Amino acid sequence: MKKYSAFTLMIALALCASQLAQAQANKQTSKEVAKYSRDGFEATEAKDWDKAVDSFRKAAELDKKQAPNLVAALLHRGMEYTTQQQYPEAIADFDEALKLKPDDAGVYERRAYVEMKTNAYDKALADYSEAIKLKPKEVRYYLLRSYIYETKNDIKSSMADTEEALKLDPNNQEAKSRKSRLETIQSLNAPPSPPRPVGSPKASPAAARTP
């Protein structure tokens, strides 16, 4: 009986030691997360996006709750890359941001903008379509997708998006102007009307002969 009690006590002590070690590890992790987060916010204030992304990435690796901060930093750096026309770097940041937050319409919009800049129109169409799924009442997304369709000479799809934009905002001047232009293009591309049938002659050839 005494042996059993001693064994039980050893197990209990081992569990306590394990829990204490885990608690200490968690405490240390929390300190590291707090430090990286603090560094990230300070870098954000200074607009040092490289440091902000690096700090928030380290924090997110330790605590997934830090992911939104990393997404924001990636988004800001991606926008900065876009301004500097460093398009591959911008795309890479937006790609990583969407892996962390795939339901952010704003990131899809910004990536699509860069894709338009690099003439990757099919990819831009796909991204604007995702943005529309997430925010179906955002007029801007329909107008941007309509622009791409027009660029690809898909007038029918461009008109459909333009009309959807007008349903959401009947007084949108950009949509009105585009619709007018698209209607002109459609009329110019319309197939010619078939010729009218020749009318019956007033007199038959025999009657028209002179005796």
Q: Please give the Cα distance from 102 to 107 (Å, whole number).
A: 9
Which residue type does 106 have? G
Kindly report, residue by residue over 74-90, the tens digit of the pLDDT.
999 999 999 999 999 99
Which residue type does 154 have? D
Interval 126-133 mean pLDDT? 97
Query: What is the pTM for the complete model shown?
Result: 0.74
pLDDT for the residue 19: 54
pLDDT for the residue 40: 86
- Decide which of 5 and 178 is more confident: 178
Q: Please give the Cα distance from 144 to 125 (Å, whole number).
A: 9
pLDDT for the residue 199: 53
Residue 114 has pLDDT above 60, yes or no: yes
Cβ atoms of 106 and 127 within 8 Å: the answer is no
Cβ atoms of 131 and 150 within 8 Å: the answer is no
pLDDT for the residue 208: 43
pLDDT for the residue 164: 97
